[in-house]
């Protein structure tokens, strides 16, 4: 897993090359978009939705279930994101998209999704397979961007941002790893509570997922300002087993930043400590990938400290095996 994280910018370069060669049809009166996928395949949709939230002219929702929303019809673009191509929930959603005559584009490494895309002559982009899905967010996210940009829902300039992202992460590699190792030591034997300040919830979700899968730990996340209206009231008892991690970008709204400034002393009082991580870079894409890369390294260093294999996901394999019996 550490090798895969170390080679993240190589993956981003390859993803850019794949996107450049991909042929995707243009907009055909698309009035809304659904990106459907789960886990490491689904998080890309969550992140890109935040990145283009201020420019996309149609509503986008992220679907992480067997079923599609009732509004899906022939004017809906449904992006199918499944790394393996065999995710049962995503295949169910894809079958519904076909029955609803939605416009479909697929991002996958193979499996039934690729087979169905070819049979039905859907737009598709094939990405390299054979790796843990969570380690291939660069491949899947960039191809989702390609689909959206080809249809006019994401700016083409985002691919220039991709090149800047690669340069940034290569330049900061040693610093990111050093900071991540220090943070991992602080989070060892703690329950991480992850907060984002509104603009980068997708990166916080990704970090939670990586802590779960790579570090084999439970944690939770929430987002400002929503957490101020419910979860904040739960901060009433000192718990040394909890450590707070916050994600910040330069795109955070100033009123949200003020909310955090007011809440931070409370977190310090009732937890073992607060760790603030501020993204580097100019664009949203740069800053999101900076936070993603930082979180990935933290999860790997936690696995090292615990002496466990970050790749192993036996409990998920057991679940799939049991479900296969029905």
Which of 28, 171, 318, 320 is catalytic? The answer is 320
Is 222 an active-site residue? no
Which of 89, 126, 213, 286 is catalytic? The answer is 213
In sign, the C-alpha dihedral spanning 224, 226, 228, 230 is: negative
Is 213 an active-site residue? yes
**What do you get for the CA distance between the two ends of the chain, in Å?**
32
> To which residue do tokens 């949203």 refer?
284
In sign, the C-alpha dihedral spanning 307, 209, 176, 224 is: negative
Indicate the DSSP class of residue 99: H
Residue 278 burial by CB count (10 A; 0-12/13-18/19+): exposed, middle or buried? middle
Residue 128 burial by CB count (10 A; 0-12/13-18/19+): exposed, middle or buried? middle
Q: Which two tokens stand for residue 22?
A: 């991909």
Is 229 an active-site residue? yes
- Of the CA atoms within 13 Å of residue 162, those in its CB half-sphere come to 25
Which of 57, 229, 269, 314 is catalytic? The answer is 229
Q: Which two tokens stand for residue 306?
A: 């615990």
Reference 181, options 280, 278, 306, 297; nearest CA is 297
Q: CA–CA distance from 50 to each of 17, 61, 188 (Å)?
A: 23, 11, 30
Active-site residues, by number, are 213, 229, 320
């Amino acid at each position: 897993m550490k090798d895969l994280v170390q080679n993240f910018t190589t993956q981003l370069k390859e993803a850019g090359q794949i996107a450049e060669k991909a042929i995707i049809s243009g907009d055909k009166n698309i009035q809304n978009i659904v990106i459907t996928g789960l886990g490491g395949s689904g998080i890309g949709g969550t992140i890109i939705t935040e990145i283009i939230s201020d420019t996309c002219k149609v509503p986008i929702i992220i679907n992480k279930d067997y079923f599609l929303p009732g509004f899906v019809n022939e004017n809906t673009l449904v992006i199918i994101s499944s790394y393996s191509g065999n995710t049962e929930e995503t295949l169910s959603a894809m079958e519904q998209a076909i029955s609803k005559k939605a416009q479909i584009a697929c991002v996958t490494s193979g499996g039934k999704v690729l087979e169905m895309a070819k049979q039905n002559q859907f737009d598709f982009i094939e990405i390299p397979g054979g790796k843990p899905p969570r380690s291939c967010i660069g491949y899947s996210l960039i191809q989702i961007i390609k689909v959206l940009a080809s249809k006019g829902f994401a700016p083409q300039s985002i691919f220039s941002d991709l090149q800047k992202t690669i340069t940034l992460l290569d330049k900061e590699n040693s610093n990111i790893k050093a900071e991540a190792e220090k943070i991992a030591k602080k989070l060892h034997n703690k329950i991480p509570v992850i907060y984002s300040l509104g603009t980068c919830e997708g990166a916080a979700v990704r970090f939670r997922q990586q802590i779960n899968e790579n570090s084999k730990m439970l944690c939770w996340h929430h987002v400002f300002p929503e957490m101020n209206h419910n979860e904040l009231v739960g901060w009433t008892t000192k718990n040394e087993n909890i450590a707070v991690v916050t994600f910040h970008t330069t795109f955070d709204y100033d009123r949200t930043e003020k909310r955090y400034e007011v809440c931070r002393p409370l977190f310090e009082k009732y937890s073992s400590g607060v760790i603030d991580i501020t993204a580097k870079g100019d664009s949203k894409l740069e800053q999101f990938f900076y936070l993603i890369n930082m979180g990935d390294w933290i999860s790997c260093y936690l696995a090292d400290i615990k002496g466990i294999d970050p790749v192993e996901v036996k409990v998920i394999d057991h679940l799939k095996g049991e479900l296969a019996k029905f």
